Structure 1
């Protein structure tokens, strides 16, 4: 698609704090918010979607949180194992 020297305006609404934080980041990178939005849109066109993963992250459940807590404290830790037999012995304990 050939781009001639044409442009158009777009108005969007966003949270004021989000805008200010984004402007600071992009200013630190040497670009203005308009340029950053244009980069995002061009990348979206190139990738035919978001140019990054968009996922829902679930909070860890109680079992995972307990395991993380134990790992930080060095409690109920297993391994490393030198042999498969040692691993199997620990699993069967």
Structure 2
């Protein structure tokens, strides 16, 4: 006797640009968006939590924290005046 895997359909509304961007990332990883969402949900169920830590920090702060993990890539200045000039302040 063969058993058929049951499938459920998940309908969500998201920004079309976000969907397209996510599809590109998934395709770059060799998977489709359905597989990516399934992986997300599987990890969420296994950990009984979101597979990332939500934050209310502004995107600029998150970017700065990410950049701080690679100080060798940060722009360096000889004087404070050089920095202010570069920032157009």
Runs of at least 5 residues in structure 2 that lack an aligned partner in the other structure: 62-75, 81-89
Map of 2:14 onto structure 1: 14
Count of residues in Structure 1 that have an aligned counterpart in Structure 2: 62
Between the aligned partners of 2:17 and 2:77, the Cα distance in structure 1 is 35
1:47–1:74 CA distance, 2 compared to 1 (3 A): farther
Between the aligned partners of 1:49 and 1:31, the Cα distance in structure 2 is 23
Q: Is residue 45 from structure 1 mapped to residue 45 from structure 2 by the alignment?
A: yes
Structure 1 outlier segments of 4+, above 6 Å: none
TM-score (normalised: structure 2): 0.60
The CA RMSD over aligned residues, in Å, is 2.1
What is the deviation of 1:47? 1.2
Map of 1:25 onto structure 2: 25
Q: Deviations over 1:51-87 (max 9, x none)?
A: 1111121567xxxxxxxxxx84545xxxxxxxxxxxx
What is the deviation of 1:8? 0.7
